[in-house]
Structures are given as C-alpha cells and as structure tokens.
Structure 1
Amino acid sequence: MTNISRSPFTDEIEQAEPPCKFSMSHFTTFKGDGDPEWHLKHYRRAMVLYRNNDALMCKILATTLQAEAQDWFHTLPPRSIRSFDDLSLVFTNEYSSYRTIKKKSNHLFPVKKNPKESLHDYVKRLKAEKAKIVGCDDSIANATF
C-alpha cells in the first residue's frame, strides 16, 4: 500500500489491471532530452488499440521514461495524475523547452546560394531544408529558388 500512496497516479489508475491478452511491445524510450510531443505521438500510435484504457495508457507511458525523465516522474505529487490527459499535459509542460520548432515554408527564404557554391550543391542544400518542412508549399520553394 505504501507504493500506491506515493504513486503520482490516483488509486483507480494504480489498481487497474491490464486487459487480458495485453502484451508489452517495444516502445521508444524518453530520457528527457527530446521532443515530448514527438514521444507522445509515437507512443499513442503504438498504443492505438488501448487508447480508451486511460489507466493502461498512463502506466505504460511511465515505463517508457528513462534516466532524468524517470527521476522527474517520481517527483510528481502523490495521486496528482487522474488521467492520461493529465499525464500528457504535465509531461509536455516539463519538457517543453525540448520541443522541436516546426519550420514553415518561409524558412526557405534565407537559404541563399553562396558565391563559391556550385548550383548542384545549392539545390541539394535547398532540397534538404525543404524536406524538413511538413507540407511545404511548392510555390514558395520555387520562388525561393
């Protein structure tokens, strides 16, 4: 009972049993030095069959935390996490400084050809930058070129 009282999860989450035939698959670990939104996105995708089981979502996410992230998890106040949404919120807030800044199409405008750079190398560099932008507007990429 001592472990339950120290757990950041409510008693309801802590005492919930995994569903029959649940088997732990391999999850990407989070050590506290990456993008928390990326980790949650991949975690949700891996747990898609269990997304309606809040207790399981919480417990399994906790097992994906390693190193400093695991230490952080153990500093959460007892019984403060009532749902997966609660856990996701405190998790992303804690590691928000590691979020990846999503680039937009206008990020390409400062990419200029250096005077001694070959056209081939410039195009290669421009394409590499364009690949980092999700849903890049081709008309902006063309205007940049």
Structure 2
Amino acid sequence: MKIIVVPPINANNFELKQPLINLVQSNKFTGRQDPHNHLRFFNKVTSTFRHPEVPNTSVKLLLFPFSLDGEARDWLDKEPPRSILTWDDLVSKFINQFFPPSKTTYYRNEIITFYQKPNETFNEAWERFKGLLRQCPHHGFSELHQLDTFYNSLNSNDQDALDSAAGGNFLDKMPQEGLAIIESKSKVRYSRSRANDSRVSTDAPLSNSSPSNNSFDMQQIAASLEDKMTIKMNKIGEGGACSGSSGPGT
C-alpha cells in the first residue's frame, strides 16, 4: 500500500518526464546531509515546472521519493501506509527525522549566545552568524531579534561603527535598513582585508585557510553551481518536463 497519498490528478496525458526525475536524482539525500539544503534544492527544481491543471504540491509528492537514497529511503519505506497526505506532512516528518528537536535547540542556543571572538573581524563574525541562521532556518527568530542579537555580540568599536553608519542608534533602524548597513560595512571591511593581503610580501607564506577567504570561495562556487543548474532546468522546461502522471510505488 502506498505511503504517500497523492490527490487525484484530473489532467489528460500527465506524466513525469525522465529528465525531471534525473535532475531530482542528481542530488539524492542519504540521511547524512543537511535536510534543509536538500529541501531548498528540491523546491528550486520542482518550482520551475508548471502544469495548468496539476498543483505543484502534487508534483512534489510524486517526485520526492526519487530524491532519497540509503538511510533516507529506508526511513520513508518504513512509514505507515497512507500516513503522508500532504506536502506539509511530508516536510514535517522529513525534518523531524533528520533534524530532530534536540538539534534545533542546540542551534537556537548557539544563535542566542553568539558573540564576536576576540580576534574575529566584523566580516568574519557576520559570516559566522549567518552560517548559524542557515543551519537552522526554522529558528523562529524575527529579523529584528537577529539584528539585535548580532549587534549586542559585537565589540564596542564595531558597535560604534554601526551606530555611526546608521546616523545614531543602529537598533532604531528598521530591520531591512539595519541589514543593508551591516552588509555594506561587511563588504567594505572585506575589500580592505583583500587589499591588505595583496600588499603582503611575496616572501611571506601564503595561507588558504582564512575564514573570510573560504567564505568567499564557497560563495563563488555556489553561485557557479546555481547558474549551471538554472541553465539546465531552463533547457528541460523548454522541452516540456511535466506532461503526465506517474510516480514511484510508494
């Protein structure tokens, strides 16, 4: 008996085309990776394919099992029959299985108690703070709370710099304004850091382990991969990836 119950699809000649299935399978989740990253990838892939008579959530329910492998596939196969009726059901069960409440509590505490390390630059602290937020996207903290936490974690010099950039008390700014100020100062400080690095003597040993450098490299790689994936998905979309209804025997 099926585990995932997909609502009836009242569309003639609807089926999942193999190129779309292949794209979903190109990034299988085995239970060892970040489940939130997997959902982001899966949602991005499936959101590009539309059928006027088929809800996107039905397409997701049909495709999701194709994106699992190993331990994750074993988990889904062991779920009770007809226990997943909606996309929200599936997401909830998936996250609870591979990102349990205890892990959420850990990351929430890391965010709440965040502080700028003694030798950490403004840019490095901001990148590390954003990394914690990305690792627990369901943290539940408002943008105002996030900016308040980050501001209060900074040393007095960096707090003064933000206040100066804000033309007064930084925390009086609206969240979007505050975020723009932080991003602007982070980029300025990062560019200065890069300029200083370029003036270092060629006799000095080169290091590739700087947190800011690694962050920059990863951003470049991620952007490149995203561009390639977008091009690939667009080509598939032009060929008509979804025109009918078939799914895994779950």
Q: If the length of structure 2 is used for normalisation, what is the TM-score?
A: 0.41
CA contact (8 A) 1:9 1:80 kept: yes
- In structure 2, C-alpha distance between the alignment counterparts of 1:30 and 1:66, rounded to whole Å: 6
Aligned equivalents of 2:72, 2:28: Cα separation in 1:
10
1:77 maps to 2:80: yes
**Aligned letter for 2:15?**
P
Gaps of 5+ in 1: 113-121
CA offset at residue 23 of structure 1?
Answer: 3.5
Partner residue of 1:119?
Answer: none
Are 2:110 and 1:101 aligned?
no
Share of identical aligned residues, percent?
20
Residues 1:9 and 1:144: Cα distance change in structure 2 (over 3 Å)? farther
Corresponding residue of 1:37: 36
Q: Which residue of 2 aligns with 1:133?
A: 129
Aligned AA (1:48): S
Structure showing greater radius of gyration is 2
Is residue 10–residue 79 contact of structure 1 (8 Å, CA) maintained in 2? Answer: yes
Q: What residue in structure 2 maps to residue 59 of structure 1? A: 62
Greater relative contact order (Cα 8 A, min sep 6): structure 1 or 2? 2
Q: How far is the alpha carbon of 1:92 from its aligned partner?
A: 0.9
TM-score (norm 1): 0.65
Could you tell me how far 1:139 is from its partner in structure 2? 4.3
The alignment partner of 2:23 has SS state of coil
Instruction: Pick closer, same or farther for the CA change 1:76–1:50 going to 2, 3 Å.
Output: farther
Query: Tell me, which stretches of 5 or more residues in structure 2 are unaligned?
Result: 131-142, 159-250
Query: Which SS does the other structure have where 1:47 is aligned?
Result: helix
User: 1:131, 1:86 → 2: CA distance?
Assistant: 33
- The one-letter amino acid paired with 1:131 is E
Larger fraction in helix: 2
